[in-house]
Structure 1
Amino acid sequence: MLSRNVVAVRGAHKAASSATASKPVEKVTKLGNGLTVGTIDSKKPLTQLVLAFRAGSRYEQANQAGLSHTIRNFVGRDSKNHFGTAIVWSAANYGGVVKSFTSRDLFGVSLTVPRDSTSYALHVLAQAAANPGFKPWEVADVLPTMRADNGFRTAYDYVVDLIHKAAYRNGGLGNSIYAPCSTIGSVSAQTLSEFAEKHFVTGNAVLFATNAAHEDLVLFGDNYSPIRNGSAVSPSSSAYKVCFMKKIYLFSGVG
């Protein structure tokens, strides 16, 4: 498997090297189903694909602390249509590296593959990101990794969380991207599924790639994507508490 992947990368690199050097081409298309597709193509041998949704921690309700953290750790488990082992194995078989990420605004999955495997990788990416199965026993399996995430948090991570909580208190932007230790395991599989039904939709998503043909992503998004059709979800208001933050800066000696 390793030698085959190395050959694929070398072959793609040779093909790219023989092409005439050109300036990176940037394209953005909003599809009829609401999905936004963007690419930056430099004709290089490795393609990075990202599928992201407006589904970060700012979209959690007051009783859902840690929901986006749970979803991020769930990537690599079963989807609605495929076993998680099949998704991970398929990505690895084509030289792919799958990663998940969250912010206060976004949840997403990235997949890096040799350029000539892009078409297949798009299907793997969509299954991993847009169609999680959220089986109750698998949700329970991610709890140790969530506790491990909290164990590796740095002092900087804690400070950023506290500043957000103070600056955007009573608003979604004040929510942490980490689940509080006391609430890990409190978000049910049903709650996760309902959140995904609402947020993992075309109008709420962006499909982005570097070093891939824009037409391939548009074709996939228009005709083959398993992402459910739906409208964008607007976040609740998060007012910035300016006066309070000035007091923090003055107290800390900053500014």
Structure 2
Amino acid sequence: MRYNTLTLPNGLRVIHQPAESPILYCGFQIAAGSRHEEPQEYGIAHLCEHMAFKGTKHRKAWHLTNTLEALGAELNAFTTKEHTVYYAALLKQYTAKAVEILADIVFHASYPESELCKEIDVVGDEIETFNDSPAELIYDEFENILFKGHPLGHSILGKTQQLKTYTPQMLSRFRDKHYRTDNAVFFAYGDIDFKKLVALLQKYTPERPADNLPAVTVPHAQITDTHAETITLKHHTHLAHVMVGSRSYSLNHPNRISLYLLNNILGGPASNARFNNMLREKKALVYNVESTHAYYLDTGVWSVCFAAEKQNVQKCLRLIHKELQHMCDTQLTDTQIKAAKKQIKGQIALGAESHEQMALDFGKAMLFNAAEQDMQTLCQRIDEVTALQLQQVACEIFREESLTTLIIE
């Protein structure tokens, strides 16, 4: 898979995948997320993302969104713990307008005070909606337990009362510190001329940050060792929502691909995943069970999540621990590992049909210098995984003495 890549004089990295499509997917990915916040700033990265659409030094809010949407484009953004993304999908003939508007939103947002109070109320509603959904809340609560005292532990959304203390000046300071060309990537997927794209970015993005500005760094707080513990939170729900897991590998850890394959075998999206086969198909204990892995720059999280009748929780947990122990004790056969690789490579190919997600993925890979930016490299690394490596990873990640269990009921 061929990419065009370049670093502009202002430090902005650019990655473009040519494609025979009338649709262009493009945007900025910035290494600025909730883990970059100081305690007195919790929730500010997400709030900056919301407020970026409320006006810039050059445009009113209505002009920002209507300029692209009037052309049939879709404009979107999201914030994670490690980065913020602003992107658009549109007809390729409107590339120049997309670059101009996206650059204005990212680098020139004005955060008008008249809009800030209203948007904090909107985010407050988002927080309450999230808190009312234990199936979503459990992921945040679980990471808060695993990373207690570490910047990765706190919620991306923040807390409403703290958000109400923020001013436009505080948002501007966070933006000026992190939304820098040398801390960002522009990604594009589509049938556009790369030289013209580069010229547009040179025209609409700022000059290189001053040399005397400190480099943007990720705060690394000490993460204490975890040990097996079970925590129960009372939310008075009909079903108990349960998560079991531990810290795992970072984004570029050599064992990451082995865990990726192992996770798919256990709790991937297919109905033949082992947890689904055991808990739903054979025992009818749950409607849905899945395992996931979240990779960060310096650590990661592996977990399995399910919801069940409260009287069935311990039975589900015993079955999960039994399967995890089996993966530690027994190597997959050649037939099993070949089937697992064939399945996950098919899933990857289907996922690549979502051009928007693929563009977001290779943009993120460049932002964080990930080992594989394309499907071919990923599949090659999957082919290199051995049964012994899978067993070794299982023994390291699935040790019962290091697994944390969170129950919301």
Normalised by the length of structure 1, the TM-score is 0.82
Does the 8 A contact of 1:136 with 1:189 survive in 2?
yes
Structure 2 counterpart SS, 1:63: helix
Residue number among 88, 98, 104 corresponding to 2:81 in the alignment: 104
Does the 8 A contact of 1:73 with 1:145 survive in 2?
no
- Which residue of structure 2 lines up, in the alignment, with residue 206 of structure 1? 185
- Counterpart of 1:75 in structure 2: which amino acid? A
- Which residue of structure 1 lines up, in the alignment, with residue 14 of structure 2? 37
Pair 1:121–1:51, CA change in 2 (3 A): same
- Which residue of structure 1 lines up, in the alignment, with residue 219 of structure 2? 236
CA deviations over 1:44-68 (Å, ceiling 9, x no partner): 1111112121111111111111101
Q: Which runs of 5+ in 2 are unaligned?
A: 231-243, 247-313, 322-397, 399-409
Identify the range of structure 1 (161-170 vs 103-112) with the bigger mean alpha-carbon deviation.
161-170
**Map of 1:111-130 to 2, 5 A cutoff?**
111-130=88-107
Does the 8 A contact of 1:25 with 1:41 survive in 2?
yes
- Counterpart of 2:197 in structure 1: which amino acid? L
- Which residue of structure 1 lines up, in the alignment, with residue 229 of structure 2? 247
Normalised by the length of structure 2, the TM-score is 0.52
- Which residue of structure 2 lines up, in the alignment, with residue 60 of structure 1? 37
Which is greater in Rg? Answer: 2
Residues of 1 paired with 2:136 and 2:4: CA distance?
35
Does the 8 A contact of 1:131 with 1:227 survive in 2?
no
2:196 pairs with 1:216: yes
- Which residue of structure 2 lines up, in the alignment, with residue 162 of structure 1? 141
Residues of 1 paired with 2:245 and 2:30: CA distance?
37
Relative CO higher for 1 or 2, CA cutoff 8 Å, sep ≥ 6?
1
Identify the range of structure 1 (172-181 vs 50-59) with the bigger mean alpha-carbon deviation.
172-181
Q: Which runs of 5+ in 1 are unaligned?
A: 1-23
2:175 pairs with 1:193: no
Structure 1 counterpart SS, 2:46: helix
Pair 1:114–1:88, CA change in 2 (3 A): same
Pair 1:121–1:226, CA change in 2 (3 A): same
User: What is the deviation of 1:227?
Assistant: 3.3
CA deviations over 1:95-142 (Å, ceiling 9, x no partner): 221111000011121111101111121001111222110121121121
User: What is the deviation of 1:69?
Assistant: 2.0
Does the 8 A contact of 1:201 with 1:228 survive in 2?
no
Residues of 2 paired with 1:85 and 1:64: CA distance?
28
User: What is the deviation of 1:238?
Assistant: 4.0
Residues of 2 paired with 1:33 and 1:205: CA distance?
11
- Which residue of structure 1 lines up, in the alignment, with residue 269 of structure 2? none
Pair 1:243–1:131, CA change in 2 (3 A): same
Structure 2 counterpart SS, 1:142: helix
User: What is the deviation of 1:88?
Assistant: 1.2
Residues of 1 paired with 2:182 and 2:71: CA distance?
29
Residues of 2 paired with 1:121 and 1:236: CA distance?
33
Q: Which runs of 4+ in 1 moved over 3 A?
A: 238-242, 246-255
Structure 2 counterpart SS, 1:134: coil
Does the 8 A contact of 1:95 with 1:113 survive in 2?
yes
Does the 8 A contact of 2:17 with 2:189 survive in 1?
yes
User: What is the deviation of 1:147?
Assistant: 1.8
Does the 8 A contact of 2:10 with 2:206 survive in 1?
no
Residues of 2 paired with 1:128 and 1:234: CA distance?
23
Residues of 2 paired with 1:176 and 1:233: CA distance?
21
Structure 2 counterpart SS, 1:243: coil
- Which residue of structure 2 lines up, in the alignment, with residue 5 of structure 1? none
Structure 2 counterpart SS, 1:76: helix
Residues of 2 paired with 1:155 and 1:228: CA distance?
45
Residues of 2 paired with 1:97 and 1:240: CA distance?
40
Does the 8 A contact of 2:73 with 2:89 survive in 1?
yes
Does the 8 A contact of 1:69 with 1:102 survive in 2?
yes
Residue number among 114, 120, 124 corresponding to 1:137 in the alignment: 114
User: What is the deviation of 1:250?
Assistant: 8.3
Does the 8 A contact of 1:25 with 1:42 survive in 2?
no
- Counterpart of 2:4 in structure 1: which amino acid? K
**Map of 1:90-101 to 2, 5 A cutoff?**
90-101=67-78
Identify the range of structure 1 (96-105 vs 164-173) with the bigger mean alpha-carbon deviation.
164-173
Pair 1:33–1:170, CA change in 2 (3 A): same
Pair 1:82–1:250, CA change in 2 (3 A): closer
Residues of 2 paired with 1:135 and 1:241: CA distance?
41
Does the 8 A contact of 2:9 with 2:208 survive in 1?
no
Q: Work out the number of aligned pairs and report it.
A: 230
**Map of 1:67-86 to 2, 5 A cutoff?**
67-86=44-63
Question: What is the alpha-carbon root mean square deviation over aligned residues?
Answer: 2.2
Does the 8 A contact of 1:28 with 1:39 survive in 2?
yes
Structure 2 counterpart SS, 1:137: helix
